[in-house]
Amino acid sequence: MSEPRRPIVELRSPVARALVPVLGGVLLLGAMALVLWGIAAYLSGDGQEASERLAPSRFQVGSVESAADEVAESGPILFPGLATTTGERTMVLTHDGDDPAEGWRLYYAYPADRDRTCAVEQVQGTAEFVDCDGRSLDVSDLAPPDPGVNPVVEDRRTLYIDLSGITS
């Protein structure tokens, strides 16, 4: 039989046996926090500008046929909080005409004669909206989007919302 192995460092005092594992754990947690902070700084670009990973300049809605059918059946489609983390930039997407690849329009979800604080609510299943004052509005009464924000159809099949006017 062989003798039991002795530890490389033998801690003899009770204080050392209590403090060394705790200090080791603190150092390990500190190293993990530093690594996570580094990853977050890399992903955010040090907070200097929006990146495609954090704030993509295009939002894919999906198939033009599906989206056109949805608008025809249930009214305009609301997209809450596009390109924001606070939900302040809600968009309304609507479609006119028989060709699903054409006739897409985009609005902000507040009246054209008011500011963002007067959010509208859609009357379920219709193209009618009610604003913060209780006024009944049509989709065309809503605020137009900023320049560079518009619906885009690619290959007559896929619908996107181009957000480059607000993410750049």
53-67 CB burial, b ≥16 within 10 A, e <16: eebbbebebeebeeb
- Residue range 84-139, pLDDT digits in tens: 555 567 899 999 999 999 999 999 999 999 998 898 999 998 999 999 999 999 99
Beta bridge partners of 159: 62, 153
Count of other CB atoms within 10 angstroms of residue 91: 23
Q: What percent of the chain has pLDDT over 70?
A: 88
pLDDT tens, 1-27? 677 777 777 878 888 888 988 999 999
d(CA 25, CA 29): 6
Enter the pTM of the model: 0.66
HSE, side-chain direction, 13 A CA sphere, residue 98: 0
- Token pair listed for 74: 């249930």
Burial of 7 (0-12, 13-18, 19+ CB in 10 A): exposed
Cβ atoms of 129 and 77 closer than 8 Å: no
